[in-house]
Every structure is written in structure tokens, then in C-alpha cells.
């Protein structure tokens, strides 16, 4: 008996309709960015598919299929899973401190048999879902200024503290900024925003001097004065600037980047792959990829705009903010406009965990689009 024979005609029709509602231009843009990453990974490996290009592209195909499946999931299911996913993320982050796997001088991973997971990546999706569900039941007035705002503050600061302890300053800042932006998008009062900015400015000096690890403090001080230690803490950003500047308008040519091909550029396949792109394809290549990122962000925000449910709007906006922060932080980092904090360029950089997080997030964005006319009810009145 065939699969079609086991599926009722009405179910098949609904599946076809849902597949037709998926934004395939959005999917194509994601594929182009990933393809550009594969091209660069092939180049910096000495024109070899291994060890980076082939796994990068194979993972994308697998994660793309997951994204499409998630796009078909009803928003009521996403709504029901919001707090449980957040709770699982918090538990896993707490377990990292107890039985976490050490690597590269940090304790950020959990070893589950043959599988290694990074709970902070799960938390990026969990926080977006939890905040979206919380604000779905909150009135606009309460979202501006009320005691209810302590709840999202706790939801944000709990994982931020656990991630910062690992230590993973880059991811902690990403989670903090994502949560803060979602609170602003929900209608947070400008008085609180201004007070928060002033508070951060006042706390920054003591945090830098007493709370950061030595290498984190060195990175920040190097950012403020890159020439102070060119052979040490300032080496990464110095080599990145050389790669960026030497590419010129059109670049040195594919496979001809001296900084990456001769291994002067550290982490060329992950954190500094954008510098490699600039060296080989120049300003034109960089602008082309940035335009692709801009298109993804625009289409995702458009999806948030057309969603009928507040949960859908907030969830799509939260995923988009996370993705945009990835791009912004990495771009600023490789150009010396931000400290080196280990945030990769999404889909362009090599790394399965970040790619999975991004694709699951975009599965949620596509689900918001496919089910944009669906109403999600919390079963309770709006909080006042």
C-alpha cells in the first residue's frame, strides 16, 4: 500500500496548501548564504571539501529539511512548548556547571553518549519562545511599565548568568541583547530604557575590572587600544584588518587570500570567515553577502508584521533579532568595531550547533507565516 493511500485526501490537500504558504524566496536566500560559506570553506581548506566545506553543506541539507518540517507545526504547539523548552534549557545550563565537558578552556558543553550539545544554543530559542508566550497574555499598558516586567527580566537574567559563568561572554551578551530587544518591541517604556542604559554605563567599569576573566578583560582593553599587543591579544583583530583592507574593491581572487591561505588569520573557518571573504572577493563580495543577510532580516520581519497572533509576532521578531545580532556583532568584531567575543557569522561560518539553532529559529518564523491567520489563546485574560 502506498503512502498516498494511507493519507486522507483532505490531509494531503492541507499539507500541499501549507507547503505553498512557505516563503521559498526566503529559503533560497538562506541557501545562497550557506552556499557562499561552503565556497569560502572550500577555498581556505586548500581547494578541498574536507574538513569543512562538505560537512557544512551536508548539515545544511539536513537542517533545511528540519526547518521545513517545523514550518508545518501549528502555532498552538509552539505556544504549548514555549515554557517547557525554556525550562529544559535552564536545567541543561545548570548541568553544564556540574558535569559539563571542558574544551578550549571553557565548560560549555554536555556529553550525552556520542552526542555533544551546547545548552546555550537551546536557550536562544527557549528564551524567544518564553518571552513571546509571556507577552502574548500581557496587556500593552502592562508591557510599558509595571511590576509584571520583573518576570521577563528574570527570564532573561537567569540564563545570562548561567552562560556567563561557563564562561561564554559572547553568547551571554547575545541572549541579553535579544531579551532586551524583545522587551522594547513589546512596548517597554522609554523611561525604563533610558534608566537601563544609564545603569549599564555605571556598572560597566566595575564589571570589567572585577567580574570578567583575565582574558576577557584583555580582549576588551585590546579593543580599546589594538596596537598595544599586536603579537598577543591584538593579533586576531590585526590580521583580520589586514585581510579586510588587502581585498580592495574586487578582492585578490578565489583561493588567493594570503592571510587565510597561509594561516595568518586565526579561526578563519569560524569567527573570521567574513575577513576571508573580504580578502578574496573584496568590497563587492562583502556587500553582496550583507545584502543577502539584509534580505533575510527584512523578510523575517515582514512575517512578524503580518502575523495575527501576538505570540507569532513576538516569536518571529525575537528570532529575527537574534539572527541580526549575530550578523551585527560578528561584522563589527572582524572590523575592530567591537571586542572579539567568539560570535560566528550565521550560515557563513563553519559550525553545526549555531546552524541548527538558526534553522530551528527560521522554522519557527516560517511556521508563523504558514499559520499567520491562526489565533493563539492562552486561556486567560490579559495581565494588567
Query: Which tens digit of pLDDT belongs to each residue from 167-216?
Result: 788 888 899 999 999 999 888 888 888 888 888 778 777 776 766 666 66
Per-residue pLDDT, 5: 44
Residue 301 shares a structural domain with residue 352: yes
Q: Which of 286, 317, 285, 314 is nearest to 300 (CA)?
A: 317
How big is the CA angle at 343 (ends 340 and 347), to the nearest 5 degrees?
A: 140
Do 286 and 203 share a structural domain? no
| Segments forming the whole domain that contains residue 308 | 21-72+213-374
- Asked if 148 and 142 count as a contact pair (C-beta separation under 8 A), the reply is yes
Does a cis peptide bond (omega within 30 degrees of 0) precede residue 167? yes
pTM confidence score:
0.87
Picking from 116, 77, 110, the residue whose alpha carbon sits closest to that of residue 91 is: 110
All residues at 6 or more sequence positions from 168 whose CB lies less than 8 Å from its CB, including other chains: 106, 108, 120, 342
Give 224 or 257, the one with higher predicted confidence.
Answer: 257
Sheet containing 101-103, strands listed edge to edge, beginning at the edge strand earlier in sequence: 101-103, 106-112, 115-117
Q: Is there a single domain that holds both residue 89 and residue 56? A: no
Query: Is residue 7 in some structural domain?
Result: no
Q: Is a pLDDT exceeding 90 seen at residue 325?
A: yes
Report how many domains make up the chain: 2
Evaluate whether residue 2 is within a structural domain: no
Is 103 in a helix, a strand, or coil?
strand
Q: Are residues 136 and 282 in the same domain?
A: no
Residue 87 Cα to chain centre, angstroms? 19
Rounded to the nearest 10°, the torsion over CA 144, 147, 148, 150 is: 100
Residue where a domain stops, chosen among 193, 212, 231: 212
187/263 Cα distance (integer angstroms): 47
Amino acid at each position: 500500500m502506498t503512502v498516498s493511500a494511507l493519507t486522507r485526501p483532505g490531509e494531503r490537500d492541507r499539507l500541499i496548501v501549507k507547503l505553498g504558504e512557505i516563503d521559498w524566496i526566503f529559503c533560497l536566500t538562506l541557501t545562497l548564504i550557506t552556499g557562499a560559506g561552503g565556497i569560502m570553506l572550500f577555498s581556505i581548506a586548500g581547494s578541498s571539501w574536507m574538513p569543512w566545506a562538505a560537512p557544512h553543506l551536508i548539515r545544511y541539507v539536513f537542517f533545511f529539511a528540519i526547518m521545513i518540517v517545523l514550518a508545518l507545526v501549528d502555532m498552538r504547539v509552539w505556544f504549548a512548548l514555549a515554557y517547557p523548552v525554556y525550562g529544559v534549557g535552564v536545567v541543561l545550563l545548570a548541568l553544564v556547571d556540574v558535569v559539563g565537558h571542558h574544551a578550549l578552556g571553557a565548560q560549555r558543553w554536555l556529553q550525552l553518549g556520542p552526542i555533544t550539545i551546547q545548552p546555550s544554543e537551546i536557550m536562544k530559542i527557549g528564551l524567544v519562545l518564553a518571552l513571546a508566550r509571556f507577552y502574548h497574555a500581557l496587556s500593552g499598558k502592562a508591557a510599558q511599565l509595571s511590576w509584571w516586567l520583573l518576570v521577563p527580566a528574570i527570564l532573561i537574567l537567569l540564563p545570562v548568568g548561567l552562560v556567563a559563568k561557563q564562561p561564554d561572554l559572547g553568547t551571554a551578551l547575545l541572549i541579553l541583547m535579544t531579551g532586551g530587544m524583545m522587551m522594547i518591541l513589546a512596548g517597554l517604556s522609554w523611561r525604563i530604557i533610558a534608566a537601563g542604559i544609564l545603569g549599564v554605563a555605571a556598572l560597566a567599569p566595575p564589571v570589567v575590572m572585577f567580574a570578567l576573566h583575565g582574558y576577557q578583560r584583555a580582549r576588551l582593553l585590546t579593543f580599546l587600544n589594538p596596537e598595544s599587543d599586536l603579537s598577543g591579544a591584538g593579533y586576531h583583530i590585526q590580521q583580520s584588518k589586514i585581510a579586510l583592507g588587502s581585498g580592495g574593491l574586487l578582492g585578490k581572487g578565489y583561493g588567493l587570500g594570503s592571510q587565510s591561505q597561509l594561516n595568518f588569520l586565526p579561526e578563519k573557518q569560524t569567527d573570521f570567515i567574513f575577513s576571508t571573504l573580504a580578502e578574496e572577493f573584496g568590497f563587492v563580495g562583502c556587500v553582496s553577502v550583507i545584502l543577502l543577510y539584509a534580505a533575510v532580516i527584512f523578510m523575517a520581519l515582514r512575517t512578524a508584521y503580518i502575523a495575527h497572533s501576538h505570540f507569532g509576532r513576538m516569536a518571529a521578531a525575537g528570532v529575527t533579532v537574534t539572527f541580526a545580532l549575530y550578523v551585527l556583532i560578528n561584522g563589527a568584531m572582524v572590523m575592530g568595531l567591537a571586542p572579539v567575543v567568539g560570535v560566528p557569522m550565521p550560515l557563513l561560518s563553519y559550525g553545526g550547533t549555531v546552524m541548527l539553532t538558526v534553522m530551528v529559529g527560521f522554522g519557527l518564523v516560517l511556521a508563523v507565516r504558514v499559520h499567520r491567520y491562526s489565533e493563539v489563546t492562552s486561556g486567560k485574560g490579559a495581565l494588567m
